[in-house]
A and B are shown apart, each in its own frame.
Chain A
Amino acid sequence: MSKDIRIKKGLDIKLQGEAAKIITNAVASNVYTLVPEDFHGIIPKLIAKVGAKVIAGEPIFYNKQVGTMNFVSPVSGEVIEIVRGEKRRILAIKIQATKEQTYQDNGIFDVSSSDATAVKNHLLKTGCWSFIKQRPYDVIANPEKSPKAIFISGYASAPLTADYDFVLQGRETELQTAITALGKLTDGKIHVSVGANSNSPLVNIKGITLHTVSGPHPAGNVGTQIAKINPINKGETIWTVTPQDLVIIGELLLTGKFNAERIVAVGGSSVKTPKYYKTKIGAEIASLIYDAGIEGDNFRVITGNVLSGRAIKPDGFLGYYNNTVTIIPEGNDYELFGWNKPVFNKLSTTRAMTFSWLNPKKKYNLDTNTNGEHRAFVLTGKYEEVFPLDIFPMQILKACMYEDLDEMEALGMYEVAPEDFALTEFVCVSKQPHQAIIRKGLDLMLKEIG
């Protein structure tokens, strides 16, 4: 059964440096790093101390709130450093990989004869639970709650992100196994979306409701699809998993091995030869960008896409959930009369002496300059043009800023995640940090309401 979802409001940001559809095996990293910041809201309790020898799939830490939820090592090797910040908060766990990789054997899991509890416990124990996220709050799913549906978006519409149709080729078995297993965890449906005319292996998966998505970004955002298909009400939970994480879950169930391998798109206008790399979660980015080549020496490396990724140093590491690395020029320079001269080389949704409307297909080389200073909210009606959810974006942002929980709830805070506000943040003339505001608001609600 296939249903069409068409989005009209939104904005496709076309950038230079799209990854060519070639997969190269990345040079194996020496060090792999887990950054607890990736697991928003989780307080890690370490299992492996510095010096501990671990094999791939062995637990490194668990979730303080849910003791059974393990987070495992992507590689076999030795824990060499635990970087701590204020109040001894763990910032990063570094694992030096051995040449020969050995995997913890979790045993082949027979999905068809297992019940929900067994699936759940297996995923929690093997570290695969970390791939299941939930709405509301956009955090790792609470295993005690049963979701009303599970959403998987196989359509990546954010700029320069890895094309799922491409990276999922040949992984039907893993996808099917993972989806069958997840299907046991919900009484509702599993909604899977693909782009129009997709040749994605997701099209042929059984036990799902398939949707064809078209329209500008954020059509591929799972939040947009939830809003169109089955919006979240107060008290309800929806789980989301990305297709590439399904592959890891599926492989674990089929073979017993936690294989952190991932195909990553390396792109952006600063990259000389943008293409795909096969690497692992937590791998050093340096090996990828060394191979792909960088133009200039003033650039920013982002693990994730340009809209909601995380800035890292060139010697940083691939984020846990990311399948995209974007490298764009840093914009830390002044521009003479930048505020009033006609603009041809930047993207804008207005026509205020900005001329991107003349050539909607043009690909841009955008840098990280904010193109103006931070201001109070002034303009209205701009966000709505790029925001497809049935929510008032500015009103909910303001409610988050003045921390009115009742109003946040009434305006639809349960339905949103920070990434849903990426485009409003992009077009904001007041340069307000929308995603950070929403994240803070969600954290407050999680703490106060739960």
Chain B
Amino acid sequence: MGLKQNLHNFKEKNKDKKWLPLFNAFHTFLYAPNEVSHNGTHIKGADDLKRTMNTVIMALIPCLIFGMYNTGYQHYLAIGEINSVSAGFFSPEFWTLANFWVGFAKTLPLILVSYGVGLGIEFIFAIKNGHEVEEGYLVTGMLVPLIVPIDIPLWMLAVAVIFGVVLGKEVFGGTGMNILNPALLIRAFLFFAYPTWMSGDKVWVTGAVERTKEIAEGSTADVISGETILGSLAQGQEVAYSAWDMFYGFIPGSVGETSTLLILLGALFLIFSKIGSWRIMLSSVLGALVMGLIFNFAADSGWISESSKFYSLMNTEFWQHLLLGGFAFGAIYMATDPVTASQTNKGKWIYGFLIGFISILIRVFNPAYPEGVMLAILLMNVFAPTIDHYVVQGNVKRRLKRLKTKTA
């Protein structure tokens, strides 16, 4: 008897056990189930939720690997052991094994905690509520390590994941029922609960916090400054990176958000595979560009004095906003979450546009923290059902009108 038959017999034997969803969760990863259609369509399309989620994860892998290299690169760069990149995307300074190992050692625990805690909660709720373990967290669990600063303490991450999964998703009924994007909710929790670990100039480069402590205790090492570009801009400082650096991603930031190039590749993959909504991606880019242009225009027309603390962010070239901070990552991977986004095609245009528009608005005017993508997406998550409501009402009105012209 082969493994397939053994597992099948085991499943049949334990049909009534409460923990069976736990077994099924692993079983269905090994084997697509033997379930058949009943009446209705007797044949079914090849895609299921696992395949869909897996496609998104595949689109995230390049960002993850780049993030690992970048973690090491920023670290060694900050302590002065290597020179900054010199030869474009494939610069030898960046793609070194040493860089990778530093990043790998720092990122792997984040991934393990994110998946371990999140899936653990999913399992508990699946057993408690007697349903199968749903796949939603597979993507969330991969997104979370990519959108936090590299040095976030693991216990904070664990607490945030518990909060995000339980209050963000399970209380609404699990995958497909949530209102807010769970990954962003986890990030928002960290952001508001532990702001010192989520912003400032110490958290974006691994080791910076410890080093600051050492210096305070009398060490003679140089201070590591790991300010993000947005952080520098918000303080009116010179930006030491070229636009190409930003595009390639050789900049400090959350683990996976820095490389606009790879995010763009991921976007193309998601659009090509028809898993991600190109409508949301395109419209949020448009929204950001429009807001950026408005700010540029305001700065050029002298509506804001150069001494204003918003000036340098406002005066940032409108297209550079696409390369900075978490905008690209948010627009491609987070705004497109089908459950929390608008569900109608017309609604997706409005939803995406407003995300881009509000992201840049918050980014420029947020006094405490120069980034707005997370808050913009969460805000639009809340408004998505309203947008859909009006789109659907348009259809309903058309139907009523047809009836009226008929009876008139």
Contacts and interface: CB of A to CB of B under 8 A. Distances in A.
A430 B339 CA distance: 12
A366 B36 CA distance: 12
B15 interface: no
Nearest to B50: A339
A404 interface: no
A311 B177 CA distance: 32
Contacts of B31: 334-338
Interface string B39-56: 111111111111110110
A371 B339 CA distance: 21
A92 B275 CA distance: 45
Interface stretch (B91-99, B289-297, B318-326, B399-407): B399-407
Interface in B187-232: none
A356 B274 CA distance: 13
A59 B43 CA distance: 37
Interface stretch (B69-77, B109-117, B131-139): B131-139
Given A375-B176, A376-B176, A376-B177, A233 B406 contact: yes
B345 A331 contact: no
B47 A410 contact: no
B4 interface: yes
Interface stretch (B150-158, B309-317, B390-398): B390-398
Contacts of B402: 231, 233
Interface stretch (A186-194, A201-209, A301-309): A301-309
A371 B45 contact: yes
Interface in B14-58: 28-52, 54-55
Nearest to B341: A380
Contacts of A236: 406
Nearest to B337: A378
B259 interface: no
Contact of B338 (A309, A351, A378, A422): A378
Given A348-B47, A350-B47, A375-B175, A390 B42 contact: no
A367 B43 contact: yes
A327 to B, nearest CB: 10
B54 A339 contact: yes
Q: How large is the interface on B (under 10, 10 to 19, 20 to 34, 35 or more residues)?
A: 35 or more
B134 A426 contact: no
Nearest to A382: B274
B42 A339 contact: no
Contacts of A384: 345
Interface residues of A, number: 76
B44 A369 contact: yes
Interface in B217-254: none
A112 interface: no
B256 interface: no
B39 to A, nearest CB: 6
Given A308-B41, A351-B272, A429-B48, A369 B30 contact: no
A350 B271 CA distance: 10
A412 interface: yes
Contacts of B128: none
A349 B343 CA distance: 18
Nearest to A351: B273
B107 to A, nearest CB: 22
Contact of A352 (B52, B395, B398, B406): B52
B46 A347 contact: yes
Contact of B52 (A307, A337, A379, A410): A379
Nearest to A354: B46
Interface string B169-181: 0000111110000
Contacts of B344: 380, 392, 395
Interface stretch (A97-105, A255-263, A432-440): A432-440
Contacts of A306: 41-43
B175 A311 contact: no
Contacts of B399: 233, 410, 412
A185 interface: no
B140 interface: no
B348 interface: yes
Contacts of B33: 334, 370, 372-373
Given A311-B38, A370-B37, A378-B175, A335 B348 contact: no
Interface in A29-65: none
9 contacts: A311-B38, A333-B34, A339-B29, A347-B45, A366-B43, A369-B37, A373-B35, A375-B134, A375-B135
Given A373-B28, A380-B344, A381-B279, 20 more contacts: A308-B40, A328-B42, A348-B45, A348-B46, A351-B272, A354-B47, A369-B37, A370-B37, A372-B51, A375-B176, A376-B173, A379-B52, A381-B348, A391-B395, A395-B392, A410-B396, A412-B399, A426-B43, A428-B45, A429-B49
Interface of B: 4, 7-8, 28-52, 54-55, 132, 134-136, 173-177, 272-275, 277, 279, 338-339, 341, 343-345, 348, 388, 392, 395-396, 398-400, 402-403, 406
